[in-house]
Structures are given as structure tokens and as C-alpha cells.
């Protein structure tokens, strides 16, 4: 299995990844897609998109971020946090891992980053800090929806952060509002069981990094300021208007669309619809 040892300072981290290209008979791909899953998820989250992207003659790299899937998941040390010397599970560290992985694989240009949920914080940081590398940025249900005032109210106490987070997002379409059909009965069980497999202290560290920290990239104002450095063409999809509103405020160059009714993992349940939107955008941008 392919693993990459990240040079990011701090605890030693091995990143598991899959690197796929179109068949040798096709033209060499001009662009590479980097797919970043959300918290408690892994690279299998993109099973509905990978074949489609390969069919568009794109190279596709799907990593398990640190703390997730088959990648290293060390417990966060006591020194983690804004006052500590390490930020093991901050999006900035995950972004550093993935930039190093791309460099290791010889990918130095024409990257399209596609991310879901908490992975969008990592994707935004990567696109902002490496604007000449990332030419396309696709965010699905980006988490930078809440202003700092809301984050301070809900997430200042680590003991109640996760509960408040779930309550907040449950009212914003986290769970489906319509029945997807019996063929999808397994889906939420699969999502929940993967979440149960991730250490609670790592989940807590990731949520702290994004919302409790005053400079967390899950805070609306922080994300909007960081995004000013992004040069990439942008597409943002949400399961309701709530999830795309911040990106709309970033300017008319951010294209947005809503895929509603089936909850946070709409790129699974409505994979064909998402792929159609994504494919049209990729073609319009000249990426495929």
C-alpha cells in the first residue's frame, strides 16, 4: 500500500493515498484532482466521483488525511493549540502534508482541489498558500459558514463543542430531509460507524482547530480573509443555501449550486447530479 511520510514538523505522520490515472491509451492528463474528505471520513468518500473524473482524462489523487482512514492517527499532545508548540490536527498541518505529497508525486502545477465538509478548511488553506499550484477549487458543504460570534458562543467550552456542533448542523441539512429509498438504508450506518472508529480526542482536536481557535479556518471572517489570496477558479456546492452563502459573499467569480434534500453527503446520494454539475464546470474552465 502506498504511504508517504510527511515532512510537516511535529509528530511523525504517514499519509495513505491512492494515485490513479486514465488508461495508457488516453492522452496524458493535463490536470490533477486532489480529493479531500471531511472529518471522520476517508478516501472511500469519493468512490462516486473517482471513475467520473478518470473518464474526463484527469489524474486523481485521493489521500486519507492525518488522523483518518489508514493514515497515522497519533493522539494530540498536550502542547497542541494556539498557545502550544504543535498544531497536529489543524487544517494548516493537513495542508502542509498534502502539498508535500503532491511534490513527492511530481505534481507542481494544474491542481484541482475538491473537498467536502471539514476538508474544505484544508483545501482553502492549500489554495490560498499555493495560488500558482491550485487552478481549481471545488468545495462541498464548506464549513466556514458561522461567524466568530456564533463560534465563541457555541464552541468555547470543549465539553459541549461536539454536541453544539451537531445540533447546529442538524438544523442546516446535515441529515436528509427526504427519503432516499431503501437502496440507501445502509448509508448513514456506514457514515456513523466510520465516525465511531475515529478517536474522540482527534475529533475534538480537529473541531477545536476549526472553530474554537480564534483564528480557526472554520470561522467565516477568517476564511473570507484567507480566500482573498486564492487565484483558482471556484465552484461551491451545498445541500442548502446556508452552506454556500459565505462563498457567494466572496464575489461573483465563485460559482455556486444547491443539491438539496438528501443531506450532507449529497455527493453520494445524488452522485450523478453532482458529477454533471462538476463536469460542466470542468469543461467550461478548460480543465478537461
pLDDT at 82 over 80: no
Task: Check residue 266 and give its pLDDT.
Answer: 95
Q: Reduced to 3 states, what is the DSSP secondary structure of residue 66? A: coil
Q: Model confidence at 184, in pLDDT bands (50, 70, 90)?
A: confident
- Cα 282 to Cα 32: distance, rounded to the nearest angstrom: 12
Check residue 6 and give its pLDDT. 97
Report pLDDT digits (tens) over 15-32: 999 999 998 877 899 999
Find the mean pLDDT for residues 268-282.
Answer: 98
What percentage of the chain exceeds 70 in pLDDT? 93
* CATH number, domain 3-23+30-73+80-285, options 3.40.50.1820, 3.40.630.30, 3.40.190.170, 2.40.160.20: 3.40.50.1820
- Mean per-residue pLDDT over the chain, rounded: 92
Cite the beta strand spans of 41-200 per DSSP E. 59-63, 111-116, 134-140
Q: Is the pLDDT of residue 114 over 80?
A: yes
Show the CA angle centred on residue 72, arms to residues 67 and 74, nearest 5°: 70
Half-sphere exposure of 225 (CA within 13 A, CB side): 10
> Does residue 162 register a pLDDT over 80?
no
Residue 66 has a CB neighbour count (10 Å cut-off) of: 27
Cell of 121: 478548511
Residue 47 has pLDDT above 90, yes or no: yes
62-66, 170-174, 282-286: least confidently modelled range? 170-174
> What is Dmax (Cα atoms) for the chain?
56
Predicted pLDDT at 161: 78
- Give every CB contact of residue 23 below 8 A, 6+ residues apart in sequence: none
Amino acid at each position: 500500500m502506498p504511504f508517504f511520510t510527511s515532512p510537516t514538523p511535529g509528530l511523525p505522520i504517514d499519509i495513505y493515498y491512492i494515485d490513479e490515472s486514465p488508461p495508457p491509451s488516453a492522452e496524458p492528463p493535463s490536470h490533477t484532482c486532489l480529493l479531500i474528505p471531511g472529518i471522520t471520513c476517508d478516501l472511500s468518500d469519493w468512490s462516486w466521483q473517482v471513475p467520473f473524473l478518470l473518464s474526463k482524462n484527469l489524474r486523481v489523487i485521493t489521500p486519507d488525511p492525518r488522523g483518518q482512514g489508514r493514515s497515522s492517527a497519533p493522539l494530540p499532545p498536550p502542547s497542541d493549540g494556539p498557545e502550544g508548540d504543535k498544531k497536529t490536527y489543524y487544517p494548516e498541518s493537513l495542508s502542509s502534508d498534502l502539498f508535500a505529497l503532491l511534490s513527492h508525486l511530481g505534481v507542481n502545477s494544474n491542481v484541482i482541489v475538491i473537498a467536502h465538509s471539514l476538508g474544505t478548511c484544508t483545501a482553502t488553506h492549500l489554495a490560498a498558500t499555493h495560488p500558482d499550484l491550485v487552478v481549481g477549487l471545488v468545495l462541498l458543504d464548506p464549513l466556514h459558514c458561522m461567524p466568530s460570534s456564533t463560534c465563541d458562543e457555541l464552541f468555547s467550552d470543549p465539553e459541549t463543542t461536539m454536541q453544539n456542533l451537531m445540533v447546529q448542523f442538524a438544523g442546516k441539512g446535515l441529515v436528509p430531509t427526504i427519503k432516499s429509498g431503501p437502496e440507501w438504508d445502509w448509508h448513514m450506518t456506514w457514515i456513523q460507524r466510520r465516525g465511531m472508529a475515529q478517536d474522540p480526542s482527534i475529533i475534538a482536536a480537529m473541531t477545536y482547530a476549526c472553530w474554537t481557535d480564534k483564528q480557526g479556518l472554520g470561522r467565516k471572517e477568517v476564511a473570507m480573509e484567507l480566500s482573498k489570496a486564492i487565484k483558482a477558479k471556484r465552484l461551491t456546492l451545498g445541500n442548502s443555501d446556508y452552506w454556500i452563502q459565505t462563498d457567494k459573499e466572496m464575489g461573483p467569480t465563485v460559482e455556486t449550486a444547491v443539491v438539496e434534500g438528501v443531506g450532507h453527503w449529497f455527493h453520494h446520494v445524488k452522485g450523478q447530479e453532482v458529477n454533471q454539475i462538476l463536469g460542466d464546470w470542468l469543461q467550461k474552465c478548460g480543465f478537461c
